[in-house]
Amino acid sequence: ITSKMLMRQAKRCQKEEKKELEKLKKAVNSGSKEEARIYGSNAIRKQNERLNITKMASRVDAVASKVQTAVTMQQVTRSIGGTVKLMDRAAQSMNLEQMSRIMDAFERQFEDLDVQTGYMEGAIGGTTALEMPQDEVDALIQRVAEENGIE
C-alpha cells in the first residue's frame, strides 16, 4: 500500500516537472532569462523529488519482500518442528510404517521450503532496484535515448 502511494506521488511530481519544463520553454522563447532559471530550477527539483520517491518505493518493496520471506520461514520452521515431534513418537513406538509416512511428509516439507525459498529470493531480487546490474541500466538508458534522438 505504501509503495503504491509513493508511486502515485512520484507520478504527480513527474506531471509537475513537465509543467515546469513547459513554463521553461515559454520563458526561453520569450527571452526571460530570470524566469527560465526559476522554472529550470523547479523542474530539476521536481525531477530529484520524483527520483527520491521512486527509490523509496523500491526500498519499501524490498523490505516488504524480506518481511514476507521471514514470515514464510517462520511458518515452515513451525511445521518442521511438528514433524520432528511426530518422528520422535514414531521412533519410540518403532512403527516402521508410521515412520516411513512421517519421513515422506518431512521430505515434502523440505521440497516445499526449497520452492518457497527460491520464489522469495527471486521476488526479492526483482524488487530490489539498488541491486540491479549497472550495465543493464546503462544499456536501457542508452536505448531510450537513441529511440528519442537524444545524445
84 vs 142: which has the higher pLDDT: 84
Give me the pLDDT at residue 130, please: 47
Closest-CA residue to 40 (of 25, 53, 59, 55) = 25
**pLDDT higher than 90, residue 9:** yes
Q: What is the pTM of this model?
A: 0.54
**Number of neighbouring beta carbons within 10 Å of residue 6:** 20
What confidence score (pLDDT) does residue 133 get?
57
pLDDT tens-digit profile of 51-71?
999 988 888 888 888 888 888
- C-alpha cell recorded at residue 31: 527571452
Q: CA-based angle 72:73:75, to the nearest 5?
A: 65
